[in-house]
Structure 1
């Protein structure tokens, strides 16, 4: 994959995740370095992702040169950044600016910032109480298939929510994780948004899971450009706050299983 692939909020009908992970190929690296960043500003975290992606792509470039000369390739690294952000709205490359319903004064009044970014998808919100995950993975270490990757992220969240007694799933044509997701359910609501960028099979950006999020901030956007469905959080569904560290630990467990990965901190 030599050009960027940008996944959007709207996708073809989701493909099911295989029951078992794809076996690791010889020479691949399935160790993922997990960094729990705490609450951090959005732009420095974006810059960190860009730097890790560029460094990984540089390894892949050197590997192509090494292979041409008969030398052994280097293993490419994998990372997963976990964090919260102060209130911020981000707009993907395929998004519409009018889906932000606040002007500059409105943003300041709500203590929020706004950034146009290079992921797929429309507009979304990040803020305190939301678990944001940024996997910087070389998919050639796992499976070079962007749809499989997105479905795997969704599946990890679906299994995590099942641990809390919540039945979650996918809605055909819409990336992310939903409650009341079956056709005909009365109140479909999104609990986890996703948007990624992939360059030469190296990913960045990722997912945002509403744990104890102040959902009122979503009232100032058209989330992912979707006008007829609600947004929810783990706290709202359970009627109690949930420790963010507990959610992180559970999600890491499911991601390790689904990716057949070794997570280290």
Structure 2
């Protein structure tokens, strides 16, 4: 089992362009698995973890309700935002500047074949990261994501999740609000959940801005520990990736 995970920092990148790139990596893993099965080969399947920040965009999961988007096409354009209906689970969400978006593209057969465990460990990665900042992140029964103040009138989501898995290969992932413009969430019913708020790490800590690189580093530390993964740094299509010093993460 290959537990090496190639980390790629994509910077700020168009949603559709990133989606296409995810699909290409996803398919490359599936192709190796099919060769192993059909040709009796024993090739290692690669794993990837993409970090990206998107321009303003709303995405709707395959089972989502379009009525949860509260803008028409002209209003979207006026907001400088785009909209895509995509093939992940979950309802509608927003991505934009000031948000850390992580897309693990993993062959779960390298780790464990349990999609529920996968989701719980992704959630735990964010919960532990929030704990590093003195915040108590929690799961909310029947609702996706990581929340604060669950079970109170002040419950608010800080991280959204939506994944796709096929042949035990994952794509899509999580979006953690760090320095996000929360006004953009007013244009949707976030994740189809009415009557609950959305928040951002900088708002919770009462500061203008949080160091995004520091938060990314903390996420990687917890992710690699929970998944027993070895992270390899690579800024583009994987060529000779180098191990990440755990001290850096």
CA distance in 1, matches of 2:206, 2:23: 37
Match of 1:5 in 2: none
TM-score calculated relative to the size of structure 1: 0.86
How far does residue 186 in structure 1 lie from its aligned partner after superposition?
2.7
Q: Are 1:76 and 2:49 an aligned pair?
A: no
CA distance in 1, matches of 2:47, 2:180: 28
Contact 1:66 1:73 in 2 (8 A): no
TM-score calculated relative to the size of structure 2: 0.92
CA distance in 1, matches of 2:38, 2:78: 53
Q: Deviations over 1:121-158 (max 9, x none)?
A: 11000000000001100001011111100000000000
CA distance in 2, matches of 1:170, 1:37: 29
Q: Any stretches of 5+ residues in structure 1 without a counterpart?
A: 1-27
Q: Deviations over 1:176-228 (max 9, x none)?
A: 100002x3x23110000000010100000000000000000000000110002
Structure 1 moving runs of 4+ over 2 Å: none
CA distance in 1, matches of 2:137, 2:87: 28
CA distance in 2, matches of 1:264, 1:64: 27
CA distance in 2, matches of 1:170, 1:251: 17
CA distance in 1, matches of 2:59, 2:80: 14
Give the paired residue count: 232
CA distance in 2, matches of 1:247, 1:38: 15
CA distance in 1, matches of 2:46, 2:107: 7
CA distance in 2, matches of 1:226, 1:82: 26
2:19 to 39, 46, 60: 46
Q: Any stretches of 5+ residues in structure 2 without a counterpart?
A: 234-249
Match of 1:191 in 2: 158
CA distance in 1, matches of 2:108, 2:53: 25
How far does residue 31 in structure 1 lie from its aligned partner after superposition?
0.3
